[in-house]
Amino acid sequence: MSERISRDLSRRAAEVAVRVADLLENLCSEEAGGESVAFLRDWAASAAQRAAATPGAHPPADTPLDRLVHRFGLGSLETELLLFAGLPEEHEGLARTFRTMHPGGAPHPSVGLAGLLTDCAARAAARGGVRAQAPDRVALRRLLHEGPAVRAGVLALTGEGPFHERSLTLADGLWEALHGHPVRPAALEEADPGPPVAGLDGWLELPETARAVAALRSRDPRILLVGARDETVGLSRCAALARAAGLGLFAARTRPEDPRAMGLLGLHAAVRDAVPLLVVAAPEGGAAGPVTPAVARIPGPLLVCAAPGTVRPGPHRPVLTVPVGPIGTADRRTAWRAALPEAPEQAPRLAARHPLDPALTAQVALDVHSRAALAPGAAQDGAVPDVAGAIRARAGALLPPGVDLVGPRARWPRLVLGGEADGQLRDAVARLRHQALVLDDWRLLEEARAARGVRLLLTGPPGTGKSLAAEVLATEAGRDLLVVDGSELVSKYIGETEKNLAACFEVAERTQAVFLLDEADALFAARTEVSGANDRFANMETAYLLQRLDRFDGLAVLTTNLRQNIDAAFIRRMDFVVEFPLPDEAGRHRMWELHLPRALLHADVDLAGLAQHYPVPGGWIRNAAIGAAFRAADDGGAVRQGHLVDAMRREYGKAARPFPGEPAAPAGAGADRRAARALDPAHDFPAPANGRRTQKESS
């Protein structure tokens, strides 16, 4: 088909070339124009012969040229001028021919030559008795100043000098596009929306979406604005709209305010019988506010994919705003089934654990299949694909500085926390796990106006296990953990704090990771009375962050050591506020046991005595256990009571608190421990590499 289209365009251009040859033959002597006339006739004859010899002899019914003429309402004279201006693109000999005839030596037909052709047509029409219908110089001048082809940018007058000495040229890349080739002008950077993805059926049934599809089918001039923070999501919605309307898409990134570039977008979409799609990137580095697209040269609907706040439609064209959501649970399951057809039974679990947008689901599936192809022996029938690993790998490139995306490992037994606090944490995981069932299947999202997402505030003194609890929550929820240090996000530059946090939330939404914001009081401190510019901007940051947290539909965990400094409006938005008190004696004993495997302990270690004598948080116990283990390794033996006491003394010193001394040894403990050690083969430690043992160990 593409060959037929190309040869048909050459045939139609050849008809114009014959008229140019006739003109030269009448105006020039054989010595002056004979060579040019002969070349024009020979080329025209060859083009017509090739078109006639093309399989499927009849001309194609719908060519790019026909679409262009129809879309922009071009008349017969403008269509002939278009073919006339395209002749130099057909053959290098034609370009040389026009160069010899141009007053300025340009390889394009001049306006004067177009006028001579018009005069010839007028004289021929007069001889045929149809003078009133023949074009003349007045009509030509009007078309080249204000005709549809010039207004749309199809034809342009270039060069300097008088009107008739200027060149008649075509829009950049248009002639090759009329040949059916997928060319793209330099001003139109490619933006590939990709094929439509599965999982958008429910979204397409929304009233706003159905109106957008009807607007595309009508071909009336409109702007359809698809606002999405994630360009991948926005592009997938545009592809789904075009498919539902039965149309193609021609997408490009270009300068929205540039009329010439926007005209090229409309032209190249028209010749492809496609809807033009303008992709507007979010401004960087505090650029100017939203831009208004120059849409005067685009005759029908224009799709715009842009981040919120980057585009302001003008007042002279109707606007439809197309939301990108919501996406229901059923559609998410459909997306996972289509993305991973080899594991359809896993779709409900994947949709609940990784509730990604269908466009992102398709991306993750590409990565999963690529990994499987590189290690075909590792895949097993019925095995669950490593979706979490693929999500983590793809999101790694998007992580802002100071943010870590980790795979959690801690489980419930590592968290020594009883009573109400433990129950609240387990309820939070259950709420996330059953979110789709309760909100979508049971319809509480509509009936009770419930919100998606789970938000927890963990408060308590340092070292009481708040960060560990976040890791446990992520492990039990089957998700990665995005660790963000609140103090690292705060910037003295206006707007940078919001930008940093927005980037973190974007990664969390892409990966569906548990969002851990440590030292939240640095960001969500209580708003103050405005006494200056700094207070005003600090309050704006807090308000923005509260709104951003409301929109997050995953599990957000925020920790603080100073609950009294947290804004009351922020507290009200929390689903759970969990207090982490200092552990009691039983809890401290359990922590000592967790951090020190029994096989590493000397018989003189009294963990119960340590737990009773040192009322400290779990973070101190962990640090002391690790420090004592390294001291024991250096001494060449087991972890002794003295190692643990010395390590605990250092913890008290770091906190500038008085050390309470060593715990009292229970009566008869020495002999009993020596006997127990003699009977316990687990305490037979190997000597270190240098063979050194302490005096106590060798005695």
What would the pLDDT profile of 256-274 be if each residue is shown by its tens digit? Answer: 999 999 999 999 999 999 9
**pLDDT band of 321, cuts 50, 70, 90:** very high
Going from the C-alpha of 185 to that of each of 188, 268, 553, 640, the distances in angstroms are 6, 9, 41, 76
* More reliable by pLDDT, 691 or 511: 511
The pLDDT value given to residue 199: 95
The pLDDT value given to residue 300: 92
- Looking at the predicted structure, is the pLDDT value of residue 692 above 60? no
In tens, the pLDDT along 84-132 reads: 999 999 999 999 999 988 999 999 999 999 999 888 766 665 665 544 4
* pLDDT, average across residues 572-590: 91
- Looking at the predicted structure, is the pLDDT value of residue 680 above 60? no
| CB-CB contact of 173 with 295 (8 Å) | no
Provide the 10 A C-beta neighbour count for residue 556: 24
Q: Tell me the residue ranges of DSSP E strands in 407-459.
A: 454-459
Distance separating alpha carbons of residues 221 and 300, to the nearest angstrom = 4
The pLDDT value given to residue 384: 60
**In this prediction, what percent of the chain has a pLDDT beyond 70?**
84
**pLDDT band of 528, cuts 50, 70, 90:** very low
The pLDDT value given to residue 536: 43
- Looking at the predicted structure, is the pLDDT value of residue 630 above 90? yes
* More reliable by pLDDT, 482 or 379: 482
Going from the C-alpha of 142 to that of each of 77, 267, 493, 631, the distances in angstroms are 12, 21, 56, 94
- The winner for highest mean pLDDT among 131-140, 444-453, 469-478, 514-523 is 469-478
**pLDDT band of 492, cuts 50, 70, 90:** low
* pLDDT, average across residues 418-431: 89
The pLDDT value given to residue 158: 93
The pLDDT value given to residue 14: 93
| CB-CB contact of 343 with 361 (8 Å) | no
Distance separating alpha carbons of residues 305 and 530, to the nearest angstrom = 38
Distance separating alpha carbons of residues 197 and 194, to the nearest angstrom = 9
- The winner for highest mean pLDDT among 55-59, 409-413, 545-549 is 409-413
- The winner for highest mean pLDDT among 88-97, 350-359, 507-516 is 88-97
Provide the 10 A C-beta neighbour count for residue 411: 11
| CB-CB contact of 566 with 525 (8 Å) | yes
Give me Rg for the CA atoms of the chain: 38
Q: How many residues does the chain have?
A: 699
Q: Spell out a b/e string for 478-501, using b for 16 or more CB atoms within 10 Å of the CB, else e.
A: bbbbbbbebeebbeeeeeebbebb
Distance separating alpha carbons of residues 391 and 58, to the nearest angstrom = 53
**pLDDT band of 698, cuts 50, 70, 90:** very low
* More reliable by pLDDT, 209 or 533: 209
> For the CA atoms of 440, 441, 445, 451, what is the dihedral angle to 10 degrees?
-60
Q: Given the structure tokens 């996330």, which residue do they identify?
A: 432
* pLDDT, average across residues 627-639: 93
The pLDDT value given to residue 4: 86
Distance separating alpha carbons of residues 632 and 164, to the nearest angstrom = 97
* More reliable by pLDDT, 304 or 517: 304
- Strand order of the β-sheet with 454-459 is 403-406, 481-485, 514-518, 555-560, 454-459, 576-579
* pLDDT, average across residues 19-26: 88
| H/E stretch holding 547 | helix 533-551
In tens, the pLDDT along 174-184 reads: 999 999 999 99
The pLDDT value given to residue 68: 94
How high does pLDDT run on average in the chain?
A: 83
Residue among 358, 200, 216 nearest 277 (CA): 216
* More reliable by pLDDT, 312 or 124: 312
**pLDDT band of 682, cuts 50, 70, 90:** very low
In tens, the pLDDT along 213-236 reads: 999 999 899 999 999 888 999 999
Residue among 289, 295, 302, 221 nearest 256 (CA): 295
- Looking at the predicted structure, is the pLDDT value of residue 695 above 70? no
- Looking at the predicted structure, is the pLDDT value of residue 305 above 60? yes
The pLDDT value given to residue 247: 93
* More reliable by pLDDT, 500 or 351: 351
> Picking from 46-55, 281-290, 547-556, which range would have the lowest pLDDT averaged per residue?
281-290
Pairing, β 481-485 against β 403-406: antiparallel
Residue among 254, 245, 515 nearest 404 (CA): 515
pTM of the model: 0.74
- Looking at the predicted structure, is the pLDDT value of residue 678 above 50? no
Going from the C-alpha of 253 to that of each of 154, 259, 447, the distances in angstroms are 20, 14, 42
> Picking from 147-161, 182-196, 429-443, which range would have the lowest pLDDT averaged per residue?
429-443
Q: Given the structure tokens 């939404």, which residue do they identify?
A: 509
The pLDDT value given to residue 49: 87
* More reliable by pLDDT, 232 or 287: 232
- Looking at the predicted structure, is the pLDDT value of residue 564 above 90? no
The pLDDT value given to residue 669: 47
Residue among 515, 359, 336, 507 nearest 436 (CA): 336
Going from the C-alpha of 516 to that of each of 27, 179, 335, 482, 545, the distances in angstroms are 83, 56, 28, 6, 14
Q: Given the structure tokens 């097993």, which residue do they identify?
A: 380
In tens, the pLDDT along 436-454 reads: 788 878 888 777 777 788 9
Q: Spell out a b/e string for 673-693, using b for 16 or more CB atoms within 10 Å of the CB, else e.
A: beeebeeeeebebeeeeeeee
